[in-house]
Structure 1
């Protein structure tokens, strides 16, 4: 849905006024996948689903146009991007050369700050041997690899196509190519996963020597193949008690190896290893979301692009940003998001943000052992992290 041929008119002045004072991140969405994983509800498409309506080349041309319009919309007040994150989908499918070209367009349009963090996701099975070296030469500083599990039957339930040991090998290849910062993604609680399966996955993660791990409980999303299998009774739904026990095991093993939690689902070997791009989301900073279905945020205004790659490209061909919808967050909206995001972080929730009723509930959570008071902040305990969503709901409902 084209919204304007004048990119500068898209955002109200209060949104633009935030640009000089906040870091700017750029998220680029690559919508292509070789196959569709059964648990995934992301905005992704296989070649068969797209047919001739879109290709990596047409996507790249449209993306370059969007980034040019983004630079116009943000000029002259935006700082150069301090973080870039290319996600998907499967960014590695478009190859290191095109990923480098994407980064080149960002440099030319919105700009890239000195010392910027530049991340791409990758399916471990996709890259040829020279892939990671080419990324380093292009200016990427960080790689995130989708490992999920090393148990073949767990990968089969998830419809993952990579071989169980490939993620560790890819992490080592990335390290050999000069990457200091490498993340492995895990999913736990898949139907059929045993304690031994999870232990083996953690062994492999630690053996890979990465400095960052993201571990997510399996969520059965409506509309996915996995949801249909659960509904038909082919596989059982994830068990909450099992998920809690698995989380505790993950935290124990990772913490024992020197990877400390800094957000409920993320562990890093130190501050330099933390994902600065994701910290920008959690801190409420500005980011431009580019690509089909990408979401962005500037100064309390959130927007999202047309989802289908063909519709996305058509909007840009007409000279307009491909914005499908947007919302201006109210003061109450922003307050709720601060609570929701800060509670999940190791530095905790700033208690000075809370009203009297909210503060009373926060202190009740501390009394119940769900958190501790660290200076003027509420920091979740291990038990509190298992109930983080409930803590958010309790505090927010008291406002």
Structure 2
């Protein structure tokens, strides 16, 4: 089942945010993103703890009504920001995630996109992305999205090896991936392929097969994430009972090194520890917004938002979310105010993962003194440090948490 929401302070029914102050006062100079969570899946994958629901788990919520509920939250959000004293900002990026957004009819995704544009407006060159499973779209569906203004699609490929997909309980046929990539490119969409490595039973040769399959499709962007076994998932229970073996940290490290080498040889540069692109113009600008500290509003059950100094999260279940929206109340279940110390910790944690994003002159005196040691230990690139930028080496990316501990 989905993981629990964090603890926090109660959120008011009107959703109003504290008056802009400190970091919040500079909101007008930060990009504003919109995340739309679509919490529906045909089946629940055994490794997944995302806030998603199959048809039998909806308990009163109606999938067909969801897009209108999401539109209601967009309009509610614009009013909240206005009444809380935040100057209007156009949306720089939109990301439809899930779940499987493309389980909804294309016309419903388009309807939500048009509502976002009508509510907030779009910045010039706005990036508009949806996630999709390879078995949830066809050429006509993707063309409809492109015609409506979508610019990117991120396919959950995960692996090219049927046995690995079976362990993950993914339902798509890997042989369909070349078709969906071609259809997306023909529609004029940028393409990202998302991979998971370290699945129980996956060998280094299996992983190389997946990397080779990705490179053969020439996507614009590749994400490669190590499998994390989340408490409460079916996979965690299988590992605990001995049905499958836990992922090996050493093997996952070898797999990351193999991904870096294979993708690098094929012309992909890493720009965040788990993300590779063909150049700056094909990076995921929406996800970069999270890492570099921009603001965003998260629409939908369980979505998180971050504006100014305030972070909040919505009720989890689609039925509870629908009830809040029908009543004209905030769907927020709780929130927290980010103090200066927490903000600094999160800033270093996130920026250090992004190539060249953390400036040495933005660090405190003690952290700056650590940089020389990190270079000597082979964790930070010395050449970029001379330019005042912290860029992790390959070894540093494998030990990113240790780098953060030394800088904080």
TM-score grouping bracket, smaller chain normalisation: over 0.9
Q: Distance in 1 between matches of 2:276 and 2:318?
A: 34
1:158 aligns with 2:152: no
Is residue 105 from structure 1 mapped to residue 112 from structure 2 by the alignment?
no
Answering whether residue 399 of structure 2 is matched by residue 391 of structure 1, we say no
Counterpart mapping for 1:139-150 below 5 A: 139-150=149-160
* Residue pair 1:183, 1:211 contacting (<8 A) in 2 also: yes
Contact 2:17/2:310 (<8 A) preserved: no
1:2–1:321 CA contact under 8 A, matched in 2: no
Residue 95 (structure 1) shift: 2.1
**CA positional deviation for 1:346:** 0.9
TM-score w.r.t. length of structure 1: 0.95
Q: 3-state SS of the aligned residue for 1:109?
A: helix
User: In structure 2, how many angstroms separate the alpha carbons of the residues matched to 1:268 and 1:376?
Assistant: 23
Task: Report if aligned partners of 1:118, 1:139 keep a CA contact under 8 Å in 2.
Answer: yes
Q: Which residue of 2 aligns with 1:17?
A: 25
Change (3 A) 1:300 1:3: closer
Q: Does 1:369 align with 2:369?
A: no
How many equivalent pairs are there? Answer: 393
d(CA) in 1 for partners of 2:179, 2:72: 36
Shift of 1:5: 5.1
SS at 1:45 equivalent? coil
Does the alignment pair 1:36 with 2:44? yes
Q: Is the 8 A contact 2:312 2:332 kept in 1?
A: yes
> Following the alignment from structure 1 to structure 2, what is the Cα–Cα distance between the partners of residues 382 and 116?
32
Q: CA deviation at 1:3?
A: 4.1
C-alpha contact (below 8 Å) 2:139/2:184 kept by paired residues: no
| CA positional deviation for 1:58 | 2.5
Alpha-carbon deviation of 1:313? 1.4
1:256-271 equivalences under 5 Å are 256-271=265-280
Q: Tell me the CA shift for residue 64 of structure 1.
A: 1.2
Comparing 309-318 and 220-229, the one that deviates more: 309-318
Matched, 1:345 2:354: yes
The answer as to whether partners of 2:90 and 2:121 remain within 8 angstroms in 1 is: yes
Deviations 1:144-166 (A, max 9, x none): 00000011110011010001222
Deviations 1:373-392 (A, max 9, x none): 41112211111111011111
CA 380–348 in structure 1, closer or farther in 2 if over 3 Å, else same: farther
TM-score computed with the length of structure 2 as normaliser: 0.93
Work out whether residues 67 and 109 of structure 2, in 8 Å CA contact, stay in contact via their aligned partners in 1: no
- Where does residue 317 of structure 2 map in the other structure? 308
Residue 2 of structure 1 and its aligned partner are, at CA, apart by 9.0
* Correspondence 1:55 to 2:65: no
Q: What is the root-mean-square deviation in Å for CA atoms of aligned residues?
A: 1.5
Q: 1:83: which partner in 2?
A: 93
Taking the aligned partners of 1:195 and 1:6, their CA distance within structure 2 comes to 52
Q: Partners in 1 of 2:405 and 2:135 — Cα distance?
A: 40
Runs (4+) of structure 1 exceeding 6 A deviation are none
Contact 1:146 1:167 in 2 (8 A): no
Distance in 2, Cα, partners of 1:223 & 1:18: 40
Query: Separation in 2 of the partners of 1:27 and 1:379?
Result: 28
Q: Which moved more, 1:138-147 or 1:65-74?
A: 65-74
**1:78 offset after TM fit, Å?**
2.4
8 Å Cα contact 1:24-1:78 kept in structure 2:
no
Task: Report SS of the residue matched to 1:83.
Answer: strand
Equivalent residue number for residue 183 of structure 2: 173
SS in 2 for 1:92: helix
**Which residue is equivalent to 1:132?**
142
Unpaired stretches in structure 1, ≥5 consecutive residues: none
User: 1: CA distance between counterparts of 2:297 and 2:396?
Assistant: 32
Aligned residue for 1:64? 71
2:391 aligned with 1:382? no
- Where structure 2 has 5 or more consecutive residues not aligned to the other structure, the ranges are 1-8
- Taking the aligned partners of 1:357 and 1:158, their CA distance within structure 2 comes to 44
